């Protein structure tokens, strides 16, 4: 008989622990038991991570939850929350033949005010898909006669890698590389959502990947200021069910605390090296989130001593007047005020093949998830 290698054994253990049907049913039964006397939809919980959005659909958990628990998808997709203003700016650079614009693949299909990067590329714009900011740095080195602009998006998980690329550009004195920073910080957005009286949220399922970087203590002000549970959760079925159960138990007990279901990965203080790298290159700044508006201290701008790598400073460019598609209800979807099913464009005019709004573009977007996995009762 062949012996199993270490990876096969750990994979089986992982499946046994985190995708175990018996454990999942036990967690569901516990949820049903403690909510049996609570009216439908009385416990609205927002998950704030695009990966959680997809995982909840894919696992079937959303349909399996008791009616008292209402899962709301929040602004957990960085592609989706990037405002038209910055998309239009990236398009302006891409249209200019002095520049090479680099960015992640999802950004190409996000509609701007009048066009998209995908269409500009089809019309001859030099736009290149990269997997990291370091790839952009290499493109700049290989094309010294061109100005290379990296359109950087993402939350705290992406920011350290971009900071590292900017720091490398400074150390290596690369003059033709610069960044448009559309990076966002998650906790200020949760603070804004927790204070929205229209949502009446009872708890947050906090993002796992982001929390690895920032640590669980980052959510303490939100829990304390709004007396709302903030539970950091992993991505496997039993992770999600356990995290939801932990949140519901806090709501029933009248608590509003930070806790971590994902303690095997997330610490209280997070990744200090990554956080220090972000702080060395970026400074907190006010930032506009699609659907929410301007949130103080929720963005990352390059520090003054790195301003020579800020595309908007060293290579200012004229941008068309920014406009929003008034028929698209992506803004309300991102804030949990409506589901995609309530948007008149959903599945009719707006599809993954022809997206009208950013929420339909990204694989982590709420509209894309609803489209792929079908209508549900939640």
Chunk the chain into consecutive blocks of 10 residues (it has 378) and report each block's average pLDDT, rounded to whole numbers: 48 69 92 95 95 94 95 94 96 97 95 95 97 96 98 96 97 97 97 94 97 98 97 96 98 97 96 97 96 95 97 95 90 94 95 94 93 70
pLDDT on residue 181: 97
Q: Considering the entire predicted model, what is its pTM?
A: 0.91
- Give the chain's domains with CATH numbers: 23-321 (3.40.50.11740), 330-371 (no CATH)
DSSP code per residue over 49-103: -HHHHHHHHHHTHHHHS-TTEEEEE-S--HHHHS-HHHHHHHHHHHHSTTEEEEE
pLDDT on residue 375: 59
Distance CA 345, CA 355 (A): 10
Nearest-CA neighbor of 162 among 259, 78, 69? 78
pLDDT on residue 332: 95
pLDDT on residue 18: 82
pLDDT on residue 254: 97
DSSP-based helix, strand, coil % in the chain, nearest 5:
45, 15, 35
């Amino acid at each position: 008989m062949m012996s199993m290698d270490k990876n096969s054994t750990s994979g089986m253990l992982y499946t046994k622990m985190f995708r175990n049907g018996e454990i999942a049913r036990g967690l569901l039964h516990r949820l049903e038991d403690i909510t049996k006397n609570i009216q439908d939809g009385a416990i609205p919980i927002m998950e704030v991570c695009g990966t959680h959005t997809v995982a909840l659909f894919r696992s079937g958990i959303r349909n399996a939850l008791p009616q008292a628990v209402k899962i709301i998808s929040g602004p957990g997709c960085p592609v989706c929350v990037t405002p038209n203003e910055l998309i239009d700016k990236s398009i302006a650079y891409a249209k200019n033949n002095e520049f090479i614009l680099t960015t992640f693949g999802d950004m190409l299909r996000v509609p701007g005010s009048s066009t998209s990067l995908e269409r500009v590329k089809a019309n001859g714009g030099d736009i290149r898909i990269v997997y990291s900011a370091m790839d952009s740095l290499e493109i700049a080195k290989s094309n010294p006669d061109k100005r290379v602009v990296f359109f950087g998006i993402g939350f705290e998980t992406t920011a350290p890698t971009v900071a590292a690329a900017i720091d490398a550009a400074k150390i290596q004195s690369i003059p033709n590389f610069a960044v448009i920073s559309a990076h966002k910080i998650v906790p200020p957005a949760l603070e804004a959502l927790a204070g929205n009286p229209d949502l009446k949220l009872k708890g947050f399922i906090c993002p796992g990947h982001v929390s690895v970087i920032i640590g669980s203590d980052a959510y303490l002000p939100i829990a304390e200021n709004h007396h709302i549970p903030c539970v950091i959760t992993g991505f496997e079925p039993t992770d999600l069910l356990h995290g939801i159960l932990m949140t519901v138990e806090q709501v029933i007990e009248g608590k509003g605390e930070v806790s971590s279901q994902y303690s095997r990965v997330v610490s209280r203080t997070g990744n200090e090296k990554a956080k220090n790298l972000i702080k060395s290159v970026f400074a907190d700044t006010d930032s506009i989130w699609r659907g929410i508006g301007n949130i103080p201290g929720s963005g990352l701008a390059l520090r003054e001593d790195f301003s020579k790598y800020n595309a908007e400073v060293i290579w200012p460019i004229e941008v068309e007047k920014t406009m929003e598609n008034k028929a698209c209800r992506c803004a309300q979807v991102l804030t949990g005020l409506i589901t995609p099913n309530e948007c008149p464009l959903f599945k009719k005019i707006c599809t993954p093949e022809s997206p009208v709004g950013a929420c339909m573009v990204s694989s982590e977007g709420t509209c894309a998830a609803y489209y792929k996995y079908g209508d549900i009762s939640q």
